[in-house]
Amino acid sequence: MIAGLWDDLETDVRDSDDVYVIQDADHIIFRWQAMTLDFPVAPGVTRGQNPVSFEIELRFDGTITMRYGDGNQRTVPIVGVGGGSPETYMSRSHTSEFALKDLTNAGTIILTRRSPVQRGVLTVTSTNPTTGVNITVSPNDVSGSGNGTTQFTRTYNPGTTVTLTATPAAGSSLTSFAGCTPGANNTCTVVMTSVKTVTATFQTP
């Protein structure tokens, strides 16, 4: 569980209230625009409804970032991450379960993994010839790059299965792939669990 501002919130009070999502290959951001629920804080006194604005960013390497904007007043927040000991962490500076707390433009919290997730670099080469061979690549890598001409590299998140298809030049034929699992029609697949090199070897009559 990831708690950026664990409190009783409503996302339907104002027209702009909602949970917004921004995503690309590197990260995903969840952004809350909401209002706190009203409840008693003393005899005859309530905390009222107050605007809340914060976001949580999750990066490919496991880094978690929590940012706080305007509003966030009179909250009773729990801020941290939980997943069982010894990973549970609660931010003392941002958490207050029993007393009202203001987190207006509060300091950013950054949590990192002990062992960050590393992306894998795929190097595609060819033999006979060593350059100039067109290779179809699917899917595109994290930067959006796909097909290439040997020699080239592509970068992938761990666990991505990449399919390569070789296009022999006129009068040439593919004899083998090395570093991947061969398939039909001049294709092969490789699972990106680490740094990988795939070599396509050709022959001419």
DSSP line for the chain: -EEEEES-EESSSSTT-EEEEEE-SSEEEEEEEEEEPP-EEETTEE----EEEEEEEEETTS-EEEEE-S---SB--EEEE-SSTTS-EE-TTT--SSS-B--TTPPPEEE--SS---PEEEEEEEESSSS--EEEEES--TTS---EESSEEEEE-TTEEEEEEEEPPTT-EEEEEESSEE-STTEEEEEESS-EEEEEEEE--
58 contact partners, CB below 8 Å, separation of at least 6: 2, 27, 28, 29, 64
Q: Which residue has the tokens 């999750």?
A: 58
- Per-residue pLDDT at 52: 97
Which has the closest alpha carbon to 186: 198, 174, 196, 171?
Answer: 174
CB 136 within 8 A of CB 164: yes
Question: What residues does each domain of the chain span?
Answer: 2-111, 120-203
d(CA 119, CA 154): 10
- Per-residue pLDDT at 79: 94
- Residue 85 pLDDT exceeds 80: no
User: Where does the pLDDT of residue 171 fall: very low under 50, low under 70, confident under 90, or very high at 90 and above?
Assistant: confident
Which has the closest alpha carbon to 9: 45, 44, 40, 53?
Answer: 53
Can you tell me the mean pLDDT for 166-171?
88
Can you tell me the mean pLDDT for 47-56?
96
Can you tell me the mean pLDDT for 95-117?
91
- Residue 103 pLDDT exceeds 90: yes
d(CA 157, CA 166): 23
CATH annotation of 120-203: 2.60.40
Can you tell me the mean pLDDT for 35-46?
93
d(CA 175, CA 13): 65
Tell me the per-residue pLDDT of 6-35, one tens digit each, with 9 for 90 and over: 999 999 999 999 999 999 878 999 999 999
Q: Tell me the CB-side half-sphere exposure of residue 154, using CA atoms within 13 A.
A: 29
